[in-house]
């Protein structure tokens, strides 16, 4: 008896000293025994647990798992399963339960006992590890750079999203395939020789060309890194792959652009000079050399814009400094004596060259020889001056219509219309048309429209002006297109024919009266020219002769 008691004491001591929780439930599923570790796990006292249903300490989901496994005990089976308990403070304890049936000496089922292992910390570690793996994979998938991982035989074991995008292959096409299969044929031999080196240099970055699934050439910078186990054995390698195809194209485009720029700079048909901020000439094109009259070497060697006497005299150094200080384009005109003693008139623009760091890195001077233009302008001004002199002295009226307004009138024209020259030139288009006799306006508007369309118009033509004092003057006009002040205009000469028109109207009235008298006398009257051709007759003669028209 004493031996049995000793065995029970030893059993209790062993169970209470276990690191895992241990409990026994009867057939009513009530705790009949728990060790201290179980009470600590659920944060209850031993008395709180003994006699209470085991299902009181878990939620509905875990209660179902527990009851399913207790049913297995009733059938004599052991089982292991995960279940979550609810501690006295409401916290949840994740465990692995290893349960077995409890039977008496006759083999009758009396309940169950189980070892309960707390895996909460382990679960947190596993979850943290899963999160770490997920984060690691998320980082790899989010990388803009491509990433390949290969085994020791350089077969691909992992490819991130970017490398699949760059090469255009799917996971199924990449995983397990030799990495050399996707490189450009010109690269395969070199990369293969590097792979076979016994001591590989994993510190370098290589330029590697790949071929995409669509057949495009992909230029990359590839940085390989070895993957080693704890003993230092190579277990594979990873490569970070940066697509520099766009960069390569940009560099090629830049080189091409620089070539085009140099050709444009040198061959452009106006002078170009580049200078640094100290005033030293750093470049000059062919046309500028021709204007200045010196070779490239003579102009560039030892010549500074700030101290060159001919330019100092023209105040160009100050223009240069202003362009830099104010960061503005400065422009102007100068009369310059070239090295071969030619007088040239130059039109120039001085522009600051702003660098990528927003600092002035230099100055570009663009200039052109406008001597011919200036001479033409001078000739035009002289011609206009001569024109005005002749017009001012002319006895005929002269006006220039431009943009539908009077641009010029001579004194004779002002005299005809009865206004001063200043009053006429100040008139708007509508006010100018008010000088025309109302009945004549439609005709003149029609002529103006024909001239604007480039169609022919009658010349000369007649119309009337209404003078400032209200009197009416008849004029005969001769119109033509000219260039006035550098712009198209209509020049009109007008001759005052009021007196002639008055005489014509008096003559017509006299003739009409004579005809009326002749038509009302009983005699037969006719007249002929020296060739005996009838020129006219009265009504009586016409009736006698059997004709209707006496004119």
Residue 401 located in a structural domain: yes
Could you tell me if residue 5 is inside a domain?
A: no
Beta strands, E only, 195-337: 206-211, 217-228, 234-243, 271-275, 281-284, 330-337
Q: Which of 123, 157, 172 is the last residue of a domain?
A: 123
Residues 356 and 412 in one domain: no
Question: What φ, ψ does residue 60 adopt, rounded to 5°?
Answer: -65, -40
**Is 281 in contact with 300 (CB distance < 8 Å)?**
yes
The token pair at 474 is 């008849």
Q: Which domain-ending residue is among 342, 369, 396?
A: 369
With respect to residue 51, please indicate whether it lies within any of the assigned structural domains: yes
Please state, in angstroms and as integers, the Cα–Cα distance from residue 403 to each residue in 432, 444, 487, 489, following that order: 12, 16, 9, 8
Q: Per residue of the chain (551 residues), what is the pLDDT tens digit?
A: 444 445 555 666 667 777 888 999 999 999 999 998 889 999 999 899 999 999 999 999 999 999 999 999 889 899 999 999 999 999 999 998 999 998 887 888 889 989 998 887 777 766 766 676 666 677 667 677 888 888 888 899 888 888 888 889 998 999 999 888 888 888 778 777 776 666 666 667 778 888 889 988 888 888 788 788 878 788 888 888 888 877 777 767 667 766 776 776 677 777 788 888 888 887 877 877 777 766 656 666 667 778 777 677 778 888 888 888 888 888 888 777 766 677 777 788 888 888 878 888 888 888 777 777 776 676 667 666 666 766 677 778 888 988 889 988 888 888 888 999 899 999 998 988 889 999 999 998 898 888 888 888 888 888 999 999 999 999 888 888 888 877 888 888 888 888 887 777 777 766 677 677 677 777 777 788 888 888 788 888 888 877 765 55
For residue 136, being part of any structural domain is answered with no
How many domains does the structure of the chain reveal? 5
Are 517 and 482 in the same domain? no
d(CA 466, CA 394): 22
| Residue 358 belongs to domain spanning | 270-369
Closest CA to 462 of 411, 423, 501: 501
37, 65 Cβ separation under 8 angstroms: no
pTM for this predicted structure: 0.35
Q: Does one domain contain both 344 and 381? A: no
Same domain, 388 and 482: yes
| First-to-last C-alpha distance (Å) of the chain | 176
Indicate whether 129 belongs to any domain.
no
286 and 389: one domain? Answer: no
Give residue 457's pLDDT. 86
C-alpha 346/C-alpha 341 separation (Å) is: 15
CB atoms within 10 A of CB 503: 11
Task: Please give the DSSP secondary-structure letter assigned to residue 19.
Answer: S
Q: In angstroms, rounded to a whole number, what is the distance separating the alpha carbons of residues 2 and 409?
A: 149
**CB-CB contact of 412 with 393 (8 Å):** no
3-state secondary structure 126-156: HHHHHHHHHHHHHHHHHCCCEEEEECCCCEE
Torsion of CA 189, 191, 196, 198, to 10 degrees: 140
The CATH code of the domain that includes 406 is: 3.30.450.20
Q: If you write DSSP's letter for every residue of 428-468 in order, what string do you get? A: -HHHHHTTB-GGGHHHHHHHHHHHHTT----SSEEEEEE-T
What angle (nearest 5°) sits at the alpha carbon of residue 548, between those of residues 547 and 551?
A: 95
Are 382 and 363 in the same domain? no
Kindly compute the dihedral angle of the four CA atoms of residues 209, 211, 217, 219, in this order, to the nearest 10 degrees. -30
Per-residue confidence (pLDDT) for residue 342, from 0 to 100:
72
**Do 298 and 343 belong to one domain?**
yes
3-state helix, strand, coil in the chain (%, to 5): 40, 30, 25
Q: How much is the pLDDT for 339?
A: 66
Q: How far apart are CA 210 and CA 219, in angstroms?
A: 6
- Going along 54-175, which residue ranges are E strands? 79-86, 92-103, 109-118, 146-150, 156-159
Q: Are residues 274 and 206 in the same domain?
A: no
Whether 23 contacts 40, CB under 8 Å: no
177 and 236, same structural domain? Answer: yes
- Angle, CA 517 vertex, CA 515 and CA 518 arms, to 5°: 65
For the record, the structure tokens of 475 come out as 């004029």
Given 340, 369, 398, which residue is the final one in a domain? 369
- Distance between CA atoms of residues 502 and 474, nearest Å: 9
Per the domain annotation, does 502 fall within a domain?
Answer: no
Indicate if 298 and 393 belong to the same structural domain.
no
360 and 281 within one domain? yes
Does residue 485 fall inside a structural domain?
Answer: yes
Q: How many H-runs (helices) and E-runs (strands) does the chain carry?
A: 20, 22
- Compute the half-sphere exposure of residue 219: CA atoms within 13 Å on the CB side of its CA: 10
The encoded tokens of residue 356 equal 């990528």
Kindly list the distances between the CA atom of residue 338 and the CA atoms of 288, 310, 350, 437, in Å, as whole numbers in the listed order: 11, 9, 19, 61
The structure tokens listed for 278 are 């100290």
Is 256 within a domain? Answer: no
Q: Examine the domain organization and report whether 119 and 36 are in the same domain.
A: yes
537 vs 540: CA distance, rounded Å:
8
């Amino acid at each position: 008896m004493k031996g049995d008691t000793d065995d029970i004491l030893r059993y209790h001591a062993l169970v209470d000293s276990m690191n895992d929780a241990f409990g026994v439930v009867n057939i009513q599923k009530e705790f009949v025994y728990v060790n201290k570790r179980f009470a600590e796990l659920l944060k209850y006292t031993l008395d709180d647990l003994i006699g209470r249903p085991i299902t009181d300490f878990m939620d509905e989901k875990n209660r179902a798992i527990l009851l399913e496994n207790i049913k297995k005990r009733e059938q004599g089976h052991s089982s292991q399963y995960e279940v979550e308990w609810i501690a006295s403070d409401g916290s949840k304890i994740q465990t692995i339960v290893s349960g077995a049936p409890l039977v008496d000496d006759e083999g009758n089922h009396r309940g169950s006992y189980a070892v309960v292992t707390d895996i909460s910390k382990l679960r947190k570690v596993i979850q943290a590890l899963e999160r770490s793996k997920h984060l690691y994979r998320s980082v790899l998938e989010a990388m803009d750079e491509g990433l390949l991982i290969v085994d020791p035989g350089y077969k691909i074991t992992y490819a991130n999203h970017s490398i699949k995008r760059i090469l255009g292959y799917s996971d199924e096409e990449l995983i397990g395939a030799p990495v050399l299969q996707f490189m450009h044929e010109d690269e395969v031999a070199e990369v293969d020789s590097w792979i076979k080196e016994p001591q590989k240099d994993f510190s370098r970055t290589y330029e590697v060309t790949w071929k995409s699934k669509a057949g495009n050439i992909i230029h990359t910078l590839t940085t390989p890194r070895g993957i080693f186990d704890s003993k230092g054995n190579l277990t594979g390698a990873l490569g970070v792959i940066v697509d520099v195809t766009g960069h390569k194209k940009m560099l090629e485009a830049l080189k091409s652009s620089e070539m085009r720029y140099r050709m444009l700079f040198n061959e452009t048909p106006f002078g170009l000079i580049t200078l640094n901020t100290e005033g030293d000439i750093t470049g000059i094109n062919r046309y500028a050399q021709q204007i200045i009259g010196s070779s490239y070497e003579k102009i560039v060697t030892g010549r500074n814009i700030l101290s060159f006497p001919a330019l100092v005299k023209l105040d160009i150094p100050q223009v240069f400094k202003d362009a830099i200080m104010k960061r503005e384009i400065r422009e102007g005109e100068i009369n310059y004596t070239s090295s071969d003693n030619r007088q040239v008139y130059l039109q120039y623009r001085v522009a600051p060259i702003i660098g990528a760091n927003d600092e002035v890195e230099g100055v570009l001077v663009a200039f052109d020889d406008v001597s011919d233009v200036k001479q033409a302008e001078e000739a035009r001004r002289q011609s206009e001056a001569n024109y005005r002199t002749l017009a001012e002295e002319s006895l005929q009226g002269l006006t220039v219509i431009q943009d539908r307004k009077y641009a010029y009138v001579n004194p004779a024209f002002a005299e005809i219309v009865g206004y001063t020259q200043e009053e006429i030139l100040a008139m708007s288009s509508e006010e100018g048309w008010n000088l025309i006799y109302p009945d004549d306006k439609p005709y003149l508007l029609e002529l103006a429209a024909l001239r604007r369309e480039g169609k022919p118009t009658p010349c000369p033509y007649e119309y009337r002006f209404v003078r400032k004092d209200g009197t009416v003057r008849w004029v005969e006009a001769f119109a033509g297109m000219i260039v006035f002040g550098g712009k198209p205009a209509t020049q009109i000469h007008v001759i005052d024919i009021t007196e002639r028109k008055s005489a014509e109207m008096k003559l017509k009235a006299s003739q009409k009266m004579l005809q009326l008298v002749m038509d009302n006398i009983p005699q037969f009257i006719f007249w002929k020219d020296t060739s005996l051709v009838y020129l006219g007759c009265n009504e009586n003669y016409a009736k006698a002769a059997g004709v209707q028209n006496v004119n």
